[in-house]
Structure 1
Amino acid sequence: MLSRFNKVMILSAFAVAFAGCASNPPNVVSIPNSSDPAVEVARTEELVNEARAKQMDVLSPDNFKDAERALSKAKDYQADKKSSEKILQQVSYSRAWLKEGESKSDIARKSLGEIVDARSGALRANAPTMYPKEWKKLENKLENTTKDIEGGSLTAADKKGADIVAAYRQIERDSVAKQYLGKARMTIEEAEKDKASEKAPKSLAMAQGKYNQTMKLIAQDPRNTAAIARTSEDATRESDHLAEVMNKVNAGNSEALVLQNERQQRMISSLRKETKSQERELTQAEKQLEVAKQQEAELMRQQALTQTADKLRGELRPNEAEVFTQDGKVMVRLKGLNFASGKTTLTPQNKSLLKKVETALNDVPTSKIEVQGHTDSTGKADLNQKISEQRAKSVQQALIASGASSQNVNAIGMGDEHPISNNGTAAGRAQNRRIDLVIEPKIQE
């Protein structure tokens, strides 16, 4: 596994590493007695866990075990309330062993690089849980090899390395297969024991095909979990289908009849889905049609408003009436129609204007006209309300007398609550004593 040059370099490194080894670790760095033992013990435990994550427990097992023993002794001293000096000494020993183990692990990685990668993959596949006995045997074999390397011998790595790599690769594949295909394999095996090859050969072949497809994918790359997950779902689904078919066959049906019935059910289901889809499309189309109708109605209403307002503006002079649209209705503010303060009767001039208004209204289709009477703020509110109602009725009667339909013309008093000018001036009060016609145009079909 290594070139001759690399072997010489690694062995030289081991020779240096082993020089002067004793029962205590080399290169111990003392920790000041002023340090907090609890903090140092906790930090050392973190270092041990980090070393394990880097696989020091298998790359340099003896050093790692020595580090764990020293840490354990420090904890025991701590529990027995020994002196800080004794606790910190064991902590320093543990860290020194970790340092030594780190150096040996680097050397081991150079000779066992492929093994480390293979073992990492097996760990990610959860091999220790999936195959605990096989994993333990493989770990023991690796530990013996790394111990030989720790001892300065690379012969074991050369002889056993390829086999160990192959074993880790295989247990990784087996673990991935067990994780993703365990249920499918068990279902297929049970069906085979129940003579599925005779009772349901087509269903068995489909399940085996999906299973073998996933196994082939795992063999090619067990770390491509996204693709393996997708194909294993198909394999599990087909194996479940095999079990269903076997149950129906064992109940007295033939596989051909079971599969034919399934095809018919799928066809019915497909037709139902298609029908529901068409129903949804129809409902959506009806909603769109309704929206279109509403939009068209709104457009026609706006056109009727605009046309009515334009027609009335063309027949009434600006000093006679102000015409505008508001809240979906046409407002005709009769500027030329005025009442004296407190009065409700119409003057001949007012009647003449109303006659002209009625003539203009005859030229536009209307569905409803509301006559709104308004007063200024002079006097009490209840009296103003009555005056506004009487003014509105006076105009209503005049319009009806001129030919307007009594069913289409309503009168309402608004009192003094809606001024359009300043009630503090005579001119403003005169403007507030007014009549507004609120017209709802009739929309032509």
Structure 2
Amino acid sequence: MISSAVPARAYTLQFTDSSSKAQIKWPSHTINVAFSSSLAAPPANFKAGSDVVGALRRALANWSEAADIEFTESWSKEQSISAGGGSGDGISLITIAGTQDNAAPFIGASSEMSGRTRVFFTRSGSITEADIVLNPYQQFSTDGTTGTYDLEATFMHEIGHLLGLEHSSAVSATMQPRQGKNGIYSLPAFTPRSLSEDDRAGVRSIYGMRPESAKARGAVTGAVSYHTGVPAFGASVWAEEVSTGKVAATSITLTNGTYLIENLLPGKYRLKVESLDGLVLAAEIASQRGVYAGLATSTQMAFRTAEIGQVSVRADRTVKLDAQLSDQPLQLNPTLIGFNGQLSTLSVPLAPSRVYTIYVGGDGLSLKNLAAEGGVSVTSPYLTVNPSSLAQQQFGAGISVISFDVAVSENAPAGDYSLRLQSASGEVAYIVGGLTVDAAGNVTNPW
């Protein structure tokens, strides 16, 4: 079974234009949001008894704990978001009312989206208003009811946009492009209620860390180019901790091929780069404006995943690491991951001290094409693949699928981990953040 997850509309930051000089952010660390009175009287597309206001407050608190920001709350009788194309009304409204204005953003290709955020800002990038509206054509709940969107997860994603974040290329991130409904993998879709390290790094790069938890951190920067020397625009670079294998943060290269990953704790990191043609696509990172707008229309050259190298990050220092991509054709490309007989583009939630059968689908994923040793692995000492469990699966639809068992140790740290695939010819590919170990109580995986 192949389950769908629809776009929710690296940490990836918002900019006013393609020059990337003016970052979109709030001018103050205190942000006032107006709760529409519709939140207190939910319409029929919200399951009766759902804790709408509680879900919103928890989502705001989670983002506030991650960075040096505070939300102040007020109530408003307004029901509809401000119309696009203007300057707005200055009220940052969060609404679930089923008005005509609120339904307008969900026409056509956007009809399956859970929510939208409309941001108003000045030429210098200062946000003056940001409105959040949930889709009146979709069903929501707070108890994991199958076929509904999880309300808290939806608010988490949209608040990320309100703060100035674009989409992430890590499938485990709250800010990844797609949100799954409850029932994918036969589980509640609660994982996005918790911020990933990528989400935290992104919001901290805009607003800094909270003073009480601030620690000196470093950064990695560099440039990625094709073998011809042409800058690689829209390549996904990520850093993972050497000691744990956890994904620390991601970055999407700019038009000049450069990337920047900030807010890394001192330590050793492995850096890698991949093409945005797997579980997350280039067009899903693109927005209607800003530095990544060109990704929606430009022709991206697919390239083989590259393991760039290892760096030592020091506090208050920036390390430089460039990469030149191979000219060999891309042949190994995972595009789906799954569990419990299902495939999707969402990370699989795991709990410590258990063994799971994981599915991966895509191009070049036949057992004969994979390396005899290390064909499938997890880049962490806490998650182990049993090589004898590797099997070919039949899903139809012209897709190649393999399965294998992953054992999670009892002391596995909460975080996101990547699957590594290697072909017999030596080509490597990854599913960045494809596996999530969650200690916050959001993983309810009984299997």
TM-score (normalised: structure 2)? 0.18
More strand by proportion, 1 or 2?
2
Relative contact order, higher structure (CA 8 A, sep 6+)? 2
More helix by proportion, 1 or 2?
1
The structure with the larger Rg is 1
